[in-house]
Amino acid sequence: MKRLLSLMLALFLLLPGLSRGEDLSFLPLTVGSKGNEVTQLKNRLYELGYFKTSNFNKKYTEDTAKVVRQFQQANSLPETGETDADTWLTLFSDRAVKAPHPTLPPLATPAPTPVPDWPARDAEGYLAGEGEYFYENDEEGLWIYLGQDLQVVITRRVDSSIPLEWFETEIWARNGEAFRTVVTDPAHPGRKFQYPFVIAREAKAVLAFSDDFYANRIQAKETVGIIIREGQLISSKTNKKTGHHLPNLDMMAQYPDGTLQVYQCNEITAEELLARGARNVFSFGPILIRDGEINDLVYTYYKSIEPRHALGMIEPNHYFLLSAQGRNSDSKGTTLQRMAEIMKEHGVTQALNLDGGNTMALVFRGRMLNKLAVYKDRKFVRTVTSVIAIGATENQATD
């Protein structure tokens, strides 16, 4: 018995933030216990996802005991609700099991997409020879563009049981072809609002989509976030800490080598981003995926069913845009957890949530593909002052 207690104490002394010579005399913690150790316990349970808020007091309540039992169950410990030495040591060890993430019902198996009569392509799938290739099949939900340095494939998916319709847009680029931002009034960012499809047509974009809607925050005199457009700094003021509000102003930077990198709102300054060569920085958030891992925040918050829009990178110069329709009878919308999980399934390693709702717009050669969403009994898409675009073509839609 003495040997076991000595081993437990030795393990305890290795815990971060605890000094040598401390013991376990404050244990067990039970309903009615108070003090800093209770706060430390709750903070650790929050880090592991068992508590959904970090707004704690120093009291060990029945709710605390309930959460401790959940931790004990997940970690194969006796489910007493009391924090004894075994529970405490497991909680602060590297082997502590995090709270299981909530699961979503699987989406319907996607219907087969039509196979177009492909033109001659090179080994990487780009158009071989001059000109450009378009394929548009509204009924089946497939739109394609091929050029010498750009490939865009948009696929519409449907799960009528939810109901949910969404667009998966895969983009490949090379030889300097890259996302660019189109601003309606570059001299006065945040002015001259226009429909996104009008902006896209005037820019002759192959593909365009709504971004972080930073102009709305300028108008509302809110914290805008770090905003860089085509190498020019527009705003450097952001949130002092990240959180679960929307937008939390997490950001995505676009670099000249084709990399998209996500950052928390307070992780890096505008000056540092410019020094690293960031061409564009979009601020909305939250981060959905970073280094291939889904952000834990989306499992706890952002549960509302809404139109959603997110941009991600599979690898440099290979991107994935996810656009979920919502607020209409054919598609209610979805959660950020669903968005993140779809993107991870497609191999996305970096992803940021962009402005959704009635701001969401997906435009292919000047034609908006998504249906209008209804908000406050009105069916519309918001006017904006900027879009993200890629490619250029004179072959613009006129409808």
- Is 80 exceeded by the pLDDT of residue 6? no
339-382, pLDDT tens digit by residue?
999 999 999 999 999 999 999 999 999 999 999 999 999 999 99
CA distance from start to end of the chain: 81
Say how far apart CA 195 and CA 128 lie, in whole Å. Answer: 34
Instruction: State the pTM of this model.
Output: 0.86
pLDDT score of 351: 98
Q: How confident is the model at residue 20 (pLDDT cuts 50, 70, 90)?
A: very low
355-364, pLDDT tens digit by residue?
999 999 999 9
Say how far apart CA 120 and CA 124 lie, in whole Å. Answer: 11
Phi/psi for 200 (5° steps) reads -65, -40
Report the chain's mean pLDDT, rounded to a whole number.
93
pLDDT score of 22: 55
pLDDT score of 16: 44
How wide is the angle at C-alpha 271 spanned by C-alphas 248 and 183, nearest 5°?
65
Cα–chain center distance at 106: 19
Q: What b/e readout covers 200-213, taking b as 16+ CB neighbours within 10 angstroms?
A: bbebbbbbbbbbbb
Nearest to 369 by CA among 62, 136, 50: 136
pLDDT score of 300: 87
pLDDT score of 283: 98
- Is 70 exceeded by the pLDDT of residue 3? no
- Give whole-number Cα distances, 356 to 70, 194, 196, 198, 359, in Å: 35, 17, 13, 19, 5
Q: What are the residue ranges spanned by the domains of the chain?
A: 2-91, 133-390
Tell me what the mean pLDDT of segment 221-237 comes to.
97
44-54, pLDDT tens digit by residue?
999 898 987 77
Q: What's the CATH class of domain 2-91? A: mainly alpha
pLDDT score of 190: 85
Say how far apart CA 233 and CA 283 lie, in whole Å. Answer: 13
Cα–chain center distance at 396: 30
pLDDT score of 265: 97
Q: Which helix (H) or strand (E) holds 322?
A: strand 318-324
Say how far apart CA 185 and CA 58 lie, in whole Å. Answer: 53
Task: For residue 65, give every residue at least 6 positions away whose Cβ sits within 8 Å of its Cβ, in sequence order, or none.
Answer: 30, 31, 81, 82
Tell me what the mean pLDDT of segment 297-309 comes to.
94
